[in-house]
Structures are given as structure tokens and as C-alpha cells.
Amino acid sequence: MYPKPNTHYRVTISYESLPHNKKFFVVLVTGSNSGIGEAIVKLLAILGAQVVITDYFEVRNSRDFTGKVVLVTGSNSGIGEAIVKLLAILGAQVVITGRKETEIRKVSQEVLRLSPKGLKPLEVVADVTKTKDLEKLMSSTIKRFGKLDVLVNNAGIGVMTTIRDKDFITNFDNVFKINVRSGLQLIQLALPYLDQSNGTIITTSSIASLRPGKSPIPYGASKTTVDYITKALAVELGPRIRVNAINPGYILTDELVPFINPDRLSQLIESTPLHRIGQPLDVAKGVVFLASNYEDVKNSRNFTGKVVLVTGSSSGIGEGIVKLFSILGANVVVNGRKDADVQKVVQEIQQLSPYKLKPLGVVAD
């Protein structure tokens, strides 16, 4: 059950009621992105809780995915579950898939309640390591919806093993089969439909591809491979199909629980700039951003009344930044060393501004 928007809840927690003798417990905290709710989340996390943040309703107007069809592998739990829930509340038609039918059914019922138009998701039980299951997954999607706009390769596993373990090579092969091969094969199956929709491919990678550790060699190596494949496919398939990956750090999911204890969890929280561990919804928001087109971005933020100063904005990346901020309603300052370049961008920006706001042009070195 999800909290209704604009509804207040009273929760009383006594110190004696906290499960001190339990290794992990699950707590749902609404309004936990700031203030008292945020403080409760931090305290409970330090005590070993798996805190679930469900502020999907807070971003329900940030994008409009009405009419879009999104297939997310591994969407019966964890990060994938958060992705389909967020996309559903934004209006998308989603495909929920995984190996466990009971989990798929549970997520499907929750997604149906979140969908503003009551769109029923497609449920497909599939093992991504099996070619026939991948073919069934794609054919079922097209049969039901007639198209595909976004493919999210999210299914993956991690195995803690070292080179000295006798089963190291077996584990290595299994990890690559799920984390690398299955995604590539599904992309092949999806390409004809993504070509038609000018679609998007997004893969869940990991910070493990950038920060090696001594035990998860198969996992880190698989994610490094995913990163390379993403870059290569972006070159090969663009600009018709956009290809991106997201590299999360530690994300609080059921899959993470067996690998960390409360002390380690507390260390992770303290080591992050925001002093909190990542949530599946954090990754889901990144996926939604990457799946968005230009019109989605333009209509998703309001910078009216904001003043934005971007150095080096008379050309290149800086020019692109000030133009986007201007479209979103901000007053912008265009800066560069060449007056002609500055004035050219100033004139273009004034035309882009929905309120025809004239930027301030400053020639400066």
C-alpha cells in the first residue's frame, strides 16, 4: 500500500520497540527526502534498517511518458522495480519481468495502482540467460503494445569470489552470462523496434567498473565490459537510437543486505557526500532522465526567476547550457572573450526564452 499524496501520518516509535537483536529490519518512511523524515531515515539506517523511500508521488508531474512502452529486465525487485514504478506513475506502459512469478505479480499490482490511468503492465516470467525466454519476452511485448520505446537492461547478479576459489571460473561465466550476454542479445532482438521509435537503450552498470576491489572480480569485470559496450553502441546506433549506462554505488536493495552488516552500512553512509546510502528510486530517476526526449526536459523544470551565470558560454558546451536554462525560464548571463560570439548567443537565447528575456552579455577573459 502506498501513502496518498497530501495526507499526514502519525507514527510513534518507542526505543524499546526497536529490534536491537535483529540484524536487519524494513521500515517505510514517507516524506523522507528532507527534514524530520530524513533524520529518521539516517537514524534507522544506522540501527541496521533497510529504509524504503517511496516518494514517487513527489515527481509524478516531472515528466510525461504517456504512450511510451518501456521494457525493464529484472523489474520484479530492487532497482528494476523502482524503475517500472516511477515510469508507470509518469504514464508509461511497462513490462515487468523476472524469474519469480509471485514477485512479478506483486509488483504488477502495485504498478497498476500507481498508474494515473490504471494501465495494466505486461507480466512476463523469463530467465534472461535463456534465448527462448528472451525471444518470448520481446515477442510478448510487441504483441501486447505494438512497439518499444525504451529498453532498460537492468537484470544482473554479483558474486563475491576471489581468484583462489575453486569455483571462480564457473562464477565468472555465470556473471558474464547474465550481466553482459543477456543484455546484448536482448538489444539485438529490440533493434528493429527501437529503430522505428527512435528509442533508447539504458543499462544498469556499477561504480565497481571504476573502483576495483579484491573480491568481486567477475562483477566488476562484467560492468567494465558493459561500459565499453555502451560506448561502442552509442557510436554505432546513434543518433537514431540513444545508448547510455548508469553507474550506481551502493544501493539499498534486498540483494545488498547479505553483503553488509549495520556497522558497514553506517560506514557507507558516512563516506558519501550526502550522508545517506543510495535508494532504488535514485537510480530510477536517472533512468527516467536518460529516457526523456528534449520536449520532456523542456517541460519538466521551471527556472523562472532564477539567475544563471555560465562562464565560457559564448560557444560550445557553455552555449548549450545557457540555452537550455533560458528555455526553462531562467535569466542567464552569457560570457566569453569575443564580443561577436557573445552577441550572437544573446540574440539566439532571447528567441528561445519563453518570456523573451534578454540575457546579459559580458565580454570578459
pLDDT at 20 over 70: no
Amino acid at 321: I
Q: Superfamily for 301-363?
A: NAD(P)-binding Rossmann-like Domain (3.40.50.720)
Quick check: 249 pLDDT over 90? no
Domains of the chain, residue spans:
55-297, 301-363
C-alpha 175/C-alpha 158 separation (Å) is 7
For residue 5, the model assigns a pLDDT of 44
Tell whether the model's pLDDT for residue 45 goes beyond 60.
no
Cell triple for 272 = 558519501
pLDDT surpassing 60 at residue 93: yes
SS3 string of 171-182? Answer: HHHHHHHHHHHH
Give the chain's count of helices (H) and strands (E): 12, 11
Q: Which residue has the higher pLDDT, 233 or 42?
A: 233
Pick the CATH number of 55-297 from 3.40.50.2000, 1.10.3470.10, 3.40.50.720, 3.40.50.2020: 3.40.50.720
Of the candidates 154, 18, 1, 4, the one whose C-alpha atom is nearest the C-alpha of residue 76 is 154
Q: Which one is predicted more confidently, 301 or 2?
A: 301
User: What average pLDDT score do residues 282-293 get?
Assistant: 89
> What nine digits make up the cell of 192?
528493429
Q: Considering only residues 14 and 263, tell me which one the structure prediction assigns the higher pLDDT.
A: 263
Q: CA-based Rg of the chain, rounded to a whole angstrom?
A: 23
| DSSP secondary structure code for residue 181 in this structure | I
pTM of the model: 0.75
Mean pLDDT, range 269-298, rounded to an integer: 81
Tell me the catalytic residues.
219
Q: For 134-255, list the strands marked E by DSSP.
A: 150-153, 200-204, 242-246
SS3 70: strand
The whole-angstrom separation of Cα 323 and Cα 71 is 32
And the C-alpha cell for 234?
A: 552509442
**Cβ(126)–Cβ(98) below 8 Å:** yes
C-alpha 242: how far from chain center: 15
Percent of the chain with pLDDT over 90: 54
Q: Are 80 and 155 in contact (CB under 8 A)?
A: yes
196-235 per-position pLDDT tens digit: 999 999 999 998 888 886 668 999 999 999 999 999 999 9
